[in-house]
Structure 1
Amino acid sequence: HYGGFDYLYDKVNLYDRLCEIVKYGASASALTECWQRVDGLQDHMLNFLENHDEQRVASSQLFGSAEKAFPALLVSATMSTSPFMVYQGQELGENAAGAMGFSGDDGRTSIFDYCSIPTLVRWYNNGNCGIQKLNNKERKIRAFYKKVLRLCNGEKAISEGAFFDLMYVNYHNLNPNKQYLYLRHYENETLLIAVNFDSQDAIVYADIPQHAVDFLKIDSGTYFMKELISGKQKTVEFSSNAKFELHIPAHNGVVWKIVK
């Protein structure tokens, strides 16, 4: 901040760790260290999955699939109050295939030359911007990004709320190498967020410790829950003794909103 920047890329911390988890199979539990490392500085960090320097997540050089990045997207966008950046065409699954100008075939949209971005060209559609010329896969990717970004802008638990890491009480309830879960809380609303980096669906029975209940000032009682990505709904009894059954799709996540 004192160097003249309002925000600093959280590159060597959160971005690099997410890449290691998705591409190389590093443990998802290492994400706990990421927020601890920048605790107190998060308001000055910029979270991202793509920019002009880094490889596209859908490129063959990185993840090879935009969908494999979905759990990383959820973590990067919802873990803190930090702003989250979407790079041009990322929300369409742009893979930067082929050589482009001086940069060669490196999985990046050229940082040296004027160039064309195929997915954006089709979305722009000669000024008639829309999804008409996008294929089904690109439309699904865009729809997922749309849901996540609307959560970031519409849920104060994400944009302004407190964060509580749930991993330390749930190592026996999940595969800590593949799943990660946490709470976001603002006033009378709580979000239970769980992501799954595995290629298989996961069922997790999540514990919420008394410390979280006290720290976030959550009252026990009957709560209405809605999963904000799929739209599923249910009613639960909330207490520090309750277990929350979470079905998490492969390479994806869930965001359960808990309201009394």
Structure 2
Amino acid sequence: MKKVFLIALIGFTLSANAQNKTKKSMVTNKKEVVVEKKTVVYQVFTRLFGNKNTTNKPWGTIAENGVGKFNDFTDKALTEIKKLGVTHIWYTGVPHHALVNDYTAIGISNDDPEVVKGRAGSPYAVKDYYNVNPDLAVNPSKRLEEFEALIARTHKNGLKVIIDIVPNHIARKYEGKSNPKGVRDFGADDNTSVEYDRNNNFYYIPGQAFQVPTSDTYKPLNGEVNPLIDGKFNENPAKWTGNGSRLAKPDINDWYETVKINYGIRPDGSKDFPELPASYDKKSNKEHFAFWKDKDVPSSWKKFRDIALYWTAKGVDGFRYDMAEMVPYEFWSYMNSAVKMKNPNAFLIAEVYNPNEYRNYIRLGKMDYLYDKVALYDKLKEIIQRKSNTDPITDIQNSMADIEHHMLHFLDNHDEQRLASPEFAGSPEKGKPLMVLSATISSSPTMIYFGQEVGEAGNENGGFGSHSRTSIFDYVGVPNHQRWMNGGKFDGGQLSQSEKDLRDFYKRLLNFTINSPALMGKYQEIHGLNRYATEGYYPEVYSYVRWSDTQKLIVITNFSSEHTSHFDLKIPADVIKSWKVKDGIYSIKDQLYGKSTTKLQVLNGEGTVQISISPLESFIYSL
């Protein structure tokens, strides 16, 4: 197995426009210096994390295939996650969502399998926003208390807590059994005789009842007999479906398990609420909050604001907003500024896939971070699949220069094909150079998905969910992760040596990033200088520099799984000048494994570094 080296050239500075970064205070000569650091988000699918059952029967029940619990996140588990180099943990699938399991004994109604995806249900069809998934509790009647204990336990172990909020849609059968005093359910006060009303929570199809979608290839619960599977679901009049379908009988590929929330967007697309003045793209959260304080806003705005504040009051440190671009950014300004007034350090991540809207959701919607999927993620996937060379990375980073800190980097999550799967990189080793670049090219946070660090390839067919993605709809186990979990010891005792080496790589890399001041500093690509002028510098190689006042980094990655490259890497004069490095020869050393050294030669104000980089190898160099 090839090791991936990261080597540093010393450094440290503060990014002027960076926001919401991990901070640590140091006292130097009685003056406080604020040190800003990168953050690392560890996404766990909460239902799957602690599941020790390895049966993995397609469409298996909770009794057959097992399920993880809040209590499986022990102090030992959280300590090991923290040691991996993690600052925030995103507990995916916490709010109570629709599922096929009988909890009528504690007052929860059964969900109709015809409007539930899979057996365990989609975490994005939330049924009760003021409580949590009963599957996740040892004692379902005490499920909220068990999650509150997990929040406290997570904080005790030095990690911040993120959960999902899904403002665009909710479960077809929403029932707020845990509403705080005075809170009315979604739709409880709607005028259902009209398609649209500003203060309706839903859009309606008057005069038509909902019809269950049908398919020649898909049967709820794979055709299993269930008393609720009768081709009917009582919803009259029918509501618009979550993805915007206006059909009383949505298509089987629509988000038929959910209904669309109305934010005051009329059916013709026009806005029926106050709009932010253009100057508010430069205003603070406090100013946004003040703007909305005396404004009349639609009912749905208030409901979701109150949900976010409810969880903030319970100690949740931030939210991941599903399909945020399907909700107007004026609402996000309203809600996010309210959250920030309660917790100025709240960590807010949004799923937005339209690059033309990125700046609106950051500057007007007051989002901290957006998924960098359409640009960097997609390009890295193309590169490792040999559909592209590395040249476009430069244009991507240049196009994001003003918002680079806000673009969350990831290579794996619950929606995407697993990094190690044949459909993506093909092996954990091929994912290494992608991970080095993703984690070090920007000051943005890095996110990894549980199991990624031990090479999980998502080979299981859960039933509703199929291979290459770890299913979020079924009760399944996650084999590589389970070997690390080792029956609840969380010590990697069942991992193969290659899996242990892979986790060691992630641990070294992530800890390096959260402690590297240069990665919060300046960036300059040197790929263009070397691409055509440097002999032996192949198109699968990419290079750049990162620096601050106290740390200077040279990063080189080789995405080729076949070619070893030998070349003299050129460091341009403007970089050498910015670094204040004089002519001479400097020994530079690997900071990740501490085994590789080479030399930086500076002559007449220009630098060269002798490089020999093996297939899938990466370096970051230090003076």
Q: TM-score when scaled to structure 2?
A: 0.40
Structure 2 alignment gaps of length 5 or more = 1-361
Give the corresponding residue for 2:617.
Answer: 252
Give the corresponding residue for 2:589.
Answer: 226
Secondary structure of the residue that 2:547 maps to in structure 1? Answer: strand
Cα deviation 1:19-78 (Å, max 9, x = unaligned): 000013411121101111111101111000001111011112112101011111111000
AA of the residue aligned to 2:368: D
Give the corresponding residue for 1:59.
Answer: 421
Q: Where in structure 2 are the equivalents of 1:203-218 lying within 5 Å?
A: 203-218=566-581
Identity of aligned residues (%): 33
Quote the offset at 1:235 in angstroms.
Answer: 5.0
CA distance in 2, matches of 1:177, 1:235: 23
Contact between 1:27 and 1:176, CA under 8 Å: does it hold in 2?
Answer: no
AA of the residue aligned to 1:191: L
1:163 aligns with 2:513: no
- CA 221–11 in structure 1, closer or farther in 2 if over 3 Å, else same: same
Quote the offset at 1:243 in angstroms.
Answer: 1.7
Secondary structure of the residue that 2:511 maps to in structure 1? Answer: helix
1:238 aligns with 2:602: yes
Contact between 1:198 and 1:250, CA under 8 Å: does it hold in 2?
Answer: yes
What is the aligned length? Answer: 256
AA of the residue aligned to 1:15: Y
Quote the offset at 1:248 in angstroms.
Answer: 1.3
Quote the offset at 1:228 in angstroms.
Answer: 2.1
Q: Where in structure 2 are the equivalents of 1:52-91 lying within 5 Å?
A: 52-91=414-453
Greater CA deviation, 81-90 or 165-174? 165-174
AA of the residue aligned to 1:249: S
1:21 aligns with 2:386: no
Give the corresponding residue for 1:197.
Answer: 559
AA of the residue aligned to 2:426: G
In our comparison, the structure showing a higher alpha carbon Rg is 2
Greater CA deviation, 232-241 or 142-151? 232-241
1:133 to 490, 494, 501: 494
Quote the offset at 1:202 in angstroms.
Answer: 1.5
Contact between 1:162 and 1:216, CA under 8 Å: does it hold in 2?
Answer: no
Secondary structure of the residue that 1:102 maps to in structure 2? Answer: coil
RMSD between superposed Cα atoms in Å: 1.8
1:96 to 428, 449, 458: 458
Quote the offset at 1:229 in angstroms.
Answer: 3.2
Contact between 1:59 and 1:96, CA under 8 Å: does it hold in 2?
Answer: yes
Structure 1 alignment gaps of length 5 or more = none
Give the corresponding residue for 1:153.
Answer: 514
Secondary structure of the residue that 1:170 maps to in structure 2? Answer: helix
Quote the offset at 1:181 in angstroms.
Answer: 0.5
Give the corresponding residue for 1:35.
Answer: 397
Quote the offset at 1:185 in angstroms.
Answer: 0.7
CA distance in 2, matches of 1:36, 1:117: 38
Greater CA deviation, 18-27 or 222-231? 222-231
AA of the residue aligned to 1:245: Q
Secondary structure of the residue that 1:86 maps to in structure 2? Answer: strand
Higher relative contact order at CA 8 Å, sep ≥6: structure 1 or structure 2? 2
- CA 190–116 in structure 1, closer or farther in 2 if over 3 Å, else same: same
Q: TM-score when scaled to structure 1?
A: 0.92
Cα deviation 1:153-198 (Å, max 9, x = unaligned): 122112x121111012112214452100011111132111100011
Contact between 1:220 and 1:238, CA under 8 Å: does it hold in 2?
Answer: yes
